[in-house]
Amino acid sequence: MSTTSSFATGYNLAEAQLTMTLSTLAYIDENPLPTDTTPAIQAARMRTDINAALQNSAYSDWQVAWGPGLNDDRSNMLYVANNATTSQYAVVIRGTAWTFVLDWIEDLTAVLALVPFAPANNIDVQIAWGTYWGLTQLTSVTGVDPSNQQTDVLTFLKQAASQSDIYVTGHSLGGCLASVLAPTLASSTGLGSADNLKVYTFAAPSAGNNSFATYYNSLFTDNAGISTAYRVYDDLDVVPNAWASLSTIETYYPPFVNCPPDIQSTINWAQSQISGKNYTQVGTDAQQSVIKLAGQILFGPATAGATLSPIDDVLFGLEALWQHGGANYLNLLSATQLSATTAKLRSFALLQSVV
């Protein structure tokens, strides 16, 4: 890290709590209202509600500085928050909004193709086509800056944060996209370098192949050999196993419920589609950049007689939904759950109501 950095050295729980909270708030107002006739109207509502949630939280020094930016079909969203006290910025990317077809494409087309990752300047460094498409969406959308002008996120950061420390973060698909946006920012002329960036991804599927993981891990290592990018995951969350360790999903949740045969078949099909593509998760144990959180089975022992496959599917799905949810990650990180303001959170509020 640079000598003027205000980042903590290495993985820091307080930073993880902050960035997971910011990632959770990216889901606020994800579903448009009938009055949100344009993405700009919905983005303005998001900005107001994210700021209100921050103001009533432990992170009242943070407020939205740019955006949110929404693409045309509103399936991809990111925003930039700023801490007026520390002059730090955070680029926050929303995860999967299941109502949007494009998100499904970005999640699932990993089985179709790998494409070169341009910032690496090496054709062997490749990412999933769907991840590449999501990255192009994020770098092309525009959002409102403090002067009420519409700019893209790269332009805003070059103007406002070229000498600042920047977190890059996201949950689920947002974490996967953060792992490709961060190197893009690091390679962007006029924005500084990887020394100014610290990455926290949560529950993220793998973005690319082994060469990409090697490139990423090397890029986010400071002069002292300490990683500045952290992959945080719940060891009972199925999503981080896509696409590098799919078979692990079949071992989850006994004795509560075994992985149903139809889900096993889907996993086997996906594995056949990605054979030879060498998907690899970022982070290494040697660099202490992989942070495994100890998940806890939510529902307890299986109910006697719950052996039919449809019932197993529901039980397995509910358990997987909880393990992947933001409320669970906040809990595992001992972060403060968000206030009633976050009733506007569709999936996160639902998950909090389960327990």
Q: Which of 179, 196, 104 is nearest to 135 (CA)?
A: 179
Quote the number of domains for the chain: 1
Angle at the Cα of 282 from the Cα atoms of 277 and 284, rounded to 5 degrees: 120
**3-state secondary structure string across 118-166:** HHHCCCCCEEEHHHHHHHHHHHHCEEECCCCCEEEHHHHHHHHCCCCCE
Looking at residue 353, what is its pLDDT? 37
Nearest CA among 276, 82, 282 for reference residue 177 = 282
Percent of the chain past pLDDT 90, that is, above it, reads 63
Task: Report the pLDDT value the prediction gives residue 4, as an integer from 0 to 100.
Answer: 61
> Is 3 inside a domain boundary?
no
Q: Is the distance from CB of 260 to CB of 184 less than 8 angstroms?
A: no
pLDDT tens-digit map of 68-101: 999 998 989 999 999 999 999 999 999 976 555 5
Q: Are 316 and 7 in contact (CB under 8 A)?
A: no
Asked whether residue 299 is assigned to any structural domain, the reply reads yes
Residue 4 placed within a domain: no
The pLDDT of residue 348 is above 50: no
| Residue 299 domain boundaries | 13-349
Q: Percent of the chain having pLDDT more than 70?
A: 86
| 326 within some domain | yes
- CATH number of the domain at 260, please: 3.40.50.1820
> Residue 98 falls within a domain, yes or no?
yes
Residues facing residue 63 across a β-bridge: 82
Specify the pLDDT at position 162. Answer: 84
Residue 354 domain-assigned (yes or no): no
Predicted pLDDT of residue 311: 76
> Going by C-beta distance under 8 Å and a sequence separation of 6 or more, which residues neighbour residue 339?
53, 56, 57
177 contact partners, CB below 8 Å, separation of at least 6: 76, 93, 106, 131, 134, 135, 138, 170, 207
Tell me: the pLDDT tens digits for 38-60?
999 999 999 999 999 999 899 99
CB 230 within 8 A of CB 289: yes
How confident is the model over 21-42, as pLDDT tens digits? 999 999 999 889 999 999 999 9
pLDDT in tens, 306-334: 454 667 778 888 888 889 989 899 999 99
Q: Tell me the whole-structure pTM to 2 decimals.
A: 0.91
